[in-house]
C-alpha cells in the first residue's frame, strides 16, 4: 500500500491515527488505529485498527478524505468517512483487527517509536 497521509491525534488517555492512500490494486483505503483506555472500553482491547477500502470516484476520493481530516482537527473519525461514502452511494469494505496481537511479527523503527507501537507487517498497519 502507498500511504498518502498520516495524522496523529492524541489526548491524555487515547491516541489515534488516521492514514489514507492507495492500495496496490488501485482501491483507496482509509485506516484508523486507536490505542488507550477508551479503545479498551469499546473493544475489550487496548489497541484496535479498522480499515475501509473503496473505489474512488469523481464524487468522492482521497482528496475528499484529506479535506475532511484537515477541516476537522482532532474531531475526525472513521465513521465520518463511512457517512460520506454512504451519502455518495459508494460501496466499501471494512476490516478490523487489534494490532496488539500482531506485534510479535513486527520490528520497531523510528516511525513506530513516535506513535507508540510498531507497524503490523501482516495487516499493513501504518505501512
Report if residue 73 sits inside a domain.
yes
Would you state the pLDDT for residue 63?
95
Q: What residue numbers bound the domain in which 86 lies?
A: 2-115
Q: Per DSSP, what are the bridge partners of residue 2?
A: 22
The per-residue pLDDT for range 75-97, each reduced to its tens digit, is 888 999 999 999 999 999 888 65
Sign (positive or negative) of CA dihedral 125, 18, 84, 96: positive
Domain count along the chain: 1
- Residue 125 included in any domain: no
Q: Is residue 121 part of a domain?
A: no
| 123 belongs to a structural domain | no
Does residue 120 belong to any structural domain of this protein?
no
At 101 the pLDDT is 41
Torsion sign (Cα): 10, 124, 31, 3: positive
Q: Is residue 127 part of a domain?
A: no
pTM of the model: 0.71
Q: What is the pLDDT of residue 14?
A: 87
Question: Would you place residue 124 in the very low, low, confident or very high pLDDT band (cuts 50, 70, 90)?
Answer: very low
Evaluate whether residue 67 is within a structural domain. Answer: yes
Amino acid at each position: 500500500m502507498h500511504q498518502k497521509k498520516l495524522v496523529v491525534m492524541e489526548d491524555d488517555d487515547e491516541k489515534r491515527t488516521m492514514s489514507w492512500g492507495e492500495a496496490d490494486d488501485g482501491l483507496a483505503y482509509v485506516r484508523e488505529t486507536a490505542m488507550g483506555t477508551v479503545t479498551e472500553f469499546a473493544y475489550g482491547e487496548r489497541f484496535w485498527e479498522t480499515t475501509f477500502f473503496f473505489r474512488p470516484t469523481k464524487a468522492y476520493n482521497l482528496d475528499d478524505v484529506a479535506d475532511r481530516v484537515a477541516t476537522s482537527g482532532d474531531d475526525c473519525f472513521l465513521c465520518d468517512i463511512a457517512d460520506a461514502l454512504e451519502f455518495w452511494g459508494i460501496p466499501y469494505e471494512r476490516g478490523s483487527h487489534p494490532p496488539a496481537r500482531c506485534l510479535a511479527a513486527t520490528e520497531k523503527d523510528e516511525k513506530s517509536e513516535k506513535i507508540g507501537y510498531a507497524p503490523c507487517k501482516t495487516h499493513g498497519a501504518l505501512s
